[in-house]
Amino acid sequence: MSKPHVAITLGDPAGISYEIVCRAVNSLAVKRVCSPIVFGDKQSLAKFIGKISFDFVECSNVGNSVKIGVPSKKAGMIALSAIKKAVSYCMSGKVSALVTAPISKKSLKLAGSKYLGHTELLATLTKSKKVAMLMACGSIHGVMITRHIPISKIHKTIKTKNIIDTVKLSIDFIGKKNIKVAFCALNPHAGDSFIFGSEEQKIIIPAYKVLLNHGIDITKPLPADSVWLKAKNGSFDLVCTMYHDQLMIPLKCIDEKKIVNITAGLPFVRTSPGHGTAFDIAGKNKADVSPMIESILYAVNRIKLYKQAKSLK
């Protein structure tokens, strides 16, 4: 039986991305389950390995002057070119999934991109109207309603409709029957009857009522600390959080090596390790390859689940 082809972008050439991709695609764990195709800059790649021993697609070839450990315009351009090329392979059906190595938001900004993260960029490139930023950590899935925005803007950004759409999108992606969903409140103690805020009553509970009427097993907004304790113990399949750190801090405390970043709502599977470029250890051969391998294995497993679902129809 043929193994699925998976596109893997090399990410920011100034960070640890090239290191972890090269080690991941050459690992037995990855070789057993898929045929990886790596997208990136050949000159940057040459700094990490001598001979390319895997399928490689040249995307820019302008990386000879990229300084390791420092964000730059050129690094951002290289990262963007790899993403765009890999997406074109996904959209044409040449590969079955996309796994992206970490990129630098500062490098992307220096390169002139108005999208400073994968989620928004991929949504635009694929013309996907609704996307969600999911995180998986073992059996736990979590989704954030707002993504990379300042804390001061969160309460102005969360909307009832967006909450409803995000939860539905996440449930559809996970594809599990009788899924149990928990809402994290925005405010301490879930607002405590308006003492600490009104977002729960005005925004989140209306979303809860709509989702409940659609037959979804979901909690009212609960204090985030109690939700995560129960989620860790297996009480919930999906945790809906209101902002970035409300999701990422608990998951990194549970098991940072198993975190996989997922974009739900795209026309193909997309995953990424749940960490950044780690400029401080770039080029020192200290990066942990486990999250990258975990991201590839998750993508391959999702491909298998989709094929099984199609065969049952």
Q: What is the pLDDT of residues 239-255, one digit of tens each?
A: 999 999 999 999 999 99
User: Structurally, how many domains does the chain consist of?
Assistant: 2
Q: Return the pLDDT at 248.
A: 95
Give the pLDDT confidence score for residue 196 in this predicted structure: 75
Residues 237 and 156 in one domain: yes
The region of weakest confidence among 8-22, 58-72, 196-210 is 58-72
What percentage of residues in the chain have a pLDDT greater than 70? 96
Please tell me whether residues 223 and 274 are part of one structural domain.
no
Range of the domain at 75: 1-128+266-313
pLDDT on residue 34 = 96
Average pLDDT of the segment spanning 251-272? 95
State residue 65's pLDDT score.
Answer: 77
Looking at 214, 239, 259, the residue that finishes a domain is: 259
CATH number of the domain enclosing 80: 3.40.718.10
pLDDT band at 306 (very low <50, low <70, confident <90, very high): confident
pLDDT band, residue 305 (cuts 50/70/90): confident
Clarify whether residues 172 and 229 are in a common domain: yes
Q: Which of 95-99, 131-135, 192-196, 281-285 is predicted with the least confidence, judged by mean pLDDT?
A: 192-196
Is there a single domain that holds both residue 143 and residue 49?
no
pLDDT of 310 reads 62
Mean pLDDT of 58-77: 87
Please give the residue that has the higher pLDDT: either 151 or 62. 151
The arithmetic mean of pLDDT across residues 93-107, rounded, is 97
CB 13 within 8 A of CB 282: no
pLDDT for position 311: 61
- Domain match, 3 and 119 both: yes
Whether residue 175 is found in the same domain as residue 68: no
Tell whether 27 and 96 lie within a shared domain: yes
- Say if residue 138's pLDDT is above 70: yes
Q: Do 204 and 304 fall into the same domain?
A: no
Same structural domain for residues 232 and 271?
no
**313 has pLDDT over 60:** no
Would the pLDDT of 312 be above 70? no
